[in-house]
Structure 1
Amino acid sequence: MPFPFIDNLRPLILASASPRRKDLLNQIRIPFRSEVSDVTEEDLCANPQNSACRLAVKKAKEVFINAGGSWILGADTIVAAPNGVPAKEVEDEGPLHILLGKPTDEAEAARMLRLLSGKSHMVVTGFCILEPTGGTAHLEAVTSMVRLKDLTDREIESYVATREPLGKAGGYAIQGIGSFMVSGISGSYTNIVGLPLYELIQALVKIGAIRGFPLSPD
């Protein structure tokens, strides 16, 4: 028997407090409410796609404990920096990557920005959709590429002083002040912000969580 569709009476549960993800879901008018997950980013592994998916699943399943009976969306975004710096290097079947989550303070944000300055890096968002009974209906990792300009020490210090980097994967916000440093992207822009909307909508339709898209007004 198919599960009920997502609607205003049975909204999608977003397993995240991220304002960026909330904004993105509001843009496409998917009915939802958010439940905060306490999952941390301490268990990053060598593969950025696997890490992002693992964290997305953990977030969704943690929220399911208290919000079962609804479709649940978990997501996590990770920046995979290029090799060349000895700190936190991990091997991924060839090239070395440095996986960057969210900086915990201004010093860590500045370190991340110096690492990314003048280079291209991957932004990976993993997302997991749980059925109302808790089964995994969809799990996917989406990768985009971002290139940053060469940043001066003053630019890094000034940007970090805005405190925008805190709570942002890789230490910058492409949709905010941090846009000044982005010289180019390849792939999904919304994926870089925190949720790949094209892939998410395709998945919601495919698994029967929504009838189709755009959603019809109630």
Structure 2
Amino acid sequence: MNIILASASERRHELLKRIIKDFKITVSDFDEGSIEFKGNFEEYVKSLSRGKATSVANNCIDDAIIIGCDTIVAFNGEVLGKPKDENEAFNMLEKLSGGIHNVYSGVTLIRKSDNKIFEESVCTEVKFSNITKDDIRAYIKTGEPFDKAGAYGIQGYGGLFVEGIKGCYYNIVGLPINKLNYMLKQAII
């Protein structure tokens, strides 16, 4: 069975290789801005992952399983996506400093043979230490915050800010591989 990852993320490519050695990558053209956040983080990330998977599935003629995923940071009822500029990255990191936030990922699998959808969300709690303004500015200069929800990457320099986590580490990186592995076993049966 062909497996297709609907993502341009290098982090997701690397993590998926831990489960499956042979898969294809088809970048989704789904407009994430078309989904409005209505207060439920789990439903929001599932809608985003479903949109990505559906976009690729609609253009796929092969019998395949398409994997869509999306990750957000949630803090005080607000979605923190990828920062648009240095100022937005600074503001996000300053908000997260010294507090607890949640990282949500939605994972959607579409089995093309019967168009069955498998869908889950995963939440991981993250505790940040207190970060000085100078530390935030230095981190922003690395360029790392700009393609990551919440303006940090736990697998990179941003990991220095993380005091502790409750839940799946790989969810914070962008692909909850334990949950995905289980879902793939269900979809391939």
Does residue 185 (structure 1) correspond to residue 165 (structure 2)? The answer is yes
| Conserved? CA contact 1:159–1:178, under 8 Å | yes
Between the two proteins, what is the percent identity of the paired residues?
41
Give the TM-score of the pair, scaled to structure 1: 0.81
CA drift of 1:166 comes to 0.5
- Aligned counterpart for 2:128 among listed residues 148, 157, 168: 148
Aligned partner of 1:168: which letter?
A: K
- Equivalent position of 1:79 in the other structure: 73
Does residue 27 (structure 1) correspond to residue 21 (structure 2)? The answer is no
Q: Secondary structure at the match of 2:17?
A: helix
Q: Deviations over 1:99-141 (max 9, x none)?
A: 1111122211111111111101110000000012472431000
Matched residue count: 186
- Aligned counterpart for 1:50 among listed residues 27, 43, 47: 43
- Aligned counterpart for 2:117 among listed residues 137, 143, 165: 137
Structure 2: gaps spanning 5 or more residues: none
Q: Deviations over 1:116-173 (max 9, x none)?
A: 1110111000000001247243100011011111111001111011110011011000
Larger radius of gyration: 1
Equivalent residues in 2 for 1:103-122, closer than 5 Å: 103-122=83-102
| Conserved? CA contact 2:19–2:181, under 8 Å | no
- The structure-2 alpha-carbon separation of the partners of 1:140 and 1:30, relative to structure 1 and needing over 3 Å to count, comes to farther
Aligned partner of 1:67: which letter?
A: C
Distance 2:42 2:9 in 1: 20
- Note the aligned Cα RMSD (angstroms): 1.4
Q: Which has the higher helix share?
A: 2
Aligned partner of 2:59: which letter?
A: N
Does residue 168 (structure 1) correspond to residue 148 (structure 2)? The answer is yes
Q: Secondary structure at the match of 1:16?
A: coil
CA drift of 1:67 comes to 2.1
Distance 2:12 2:171 in 1: 10
CA drift of 1:207 comes to 2.2
Give the TM-score of the pair, scaled to structure 2: 0.93
Aligned partner of 1:41: which letter?
A: E
Structure 1: gaps spanning 5 or more residues: 1-5, 84-96, 210-218
| Conserved? CA contact 2:111–2:187, under 8 Å | no
